[in-house]
Amino acid sequence: MSHAGSSGGIASPGPVRSGGIDTGEESSLMGDLLFNFTEWLRNTPLNDVALAISESAPTLWIGEHFYAIPIFQVIHILAISASFAAVLMINARMLKLAGHSSLEDTTARYVRVLWWALLVLVLSGAAMIIGEPIRELINAVFWVKMILFVTAVLFTIWFHKGIAKRFTGSSEASGGAKLAGIVLVVLWCMIMTGGRWIAYNPG
């Protein structure tokens, strides 16, 4: 009977490594970072704020009506979908993958959709926070998502006020504009991932 690792035996494969780092260790490190961040949040005044909100009349009303949170979530998801779709359409036109309108018209049309969708996103998100303040506010992933969201909004403002203003007449997007658009797509993908991840990293 052969033994793993012995001479002439069959050695069992060790853990898969990526770049010299055990992938299991990478996952464990990320989990530890999120856990430590969440524990830190519990020891900040934010914990008291979350507890106070949880005892407020709006939170109690939402808790008594089981359909409230699902409705807010559906609205939130639809707003995220509209925001992401607007970003994708602008990028598709910049990269000449879709659309027959001028870049100026396409950008003007979908940036308007993007801003309205962001407004709905913020309002529905606020309603979800009021409905489940501890689950949201004392959650490391929630704050990662918020940092990404604020970054995306600031990046969108810069894109709208800076780059998009150069799209006049039949002009096409420069390499820098295309890169900025792709960065926006990546940011929104990360935001959507963070939003879904919140459910698996409760506070």
Q: What is the DSSP string of the chain?
A: ---TTSTTS-PPP---EETTEEHHHHHHHHHHHHHHHHHHHHTSHHHHHHHHHHTSHHHHHHHH-TTHHHHHHHHHHHHHHHHHHHHHHHHHHHTTSS-SS-HHHHHHHHHHHHHHHHHHHHHHHHHHHHHSHHHHHT-HHHHHHHHHHHHHHHHHHHIIIIIGGG--TT----HHHHHHHHHHHHHHHHHHHHHHHGGGS--
Pick from 55-69, 100-114, 122-136, 139-153: least confident: 100-114
Indicate the number of domains in the chain. Answer: 1
Residue 162 maps to a domain: yes
Instruction: Report the pLDDT averaged over residues 120-142.
Output: 93
Average pLDDT over residues 80-87: 92
Q: Which residue has the higher pLDDT, 142 or 103?
A: 142
- pLDDT of res. 23: 53
- Report yes or no on 148 lying in a domain: yes
Residue 147 maps to a domain: yes
For residue 19, is it within any domain?
no
> Residue 17: pLDDT above 70?
no
- Specify if 5 maps to a domain: no
Residue 59: inside a domain: yes
Average pLDDT over residues 135-144: 90
The whole-chain average pLDDT of the chain stands at: 81
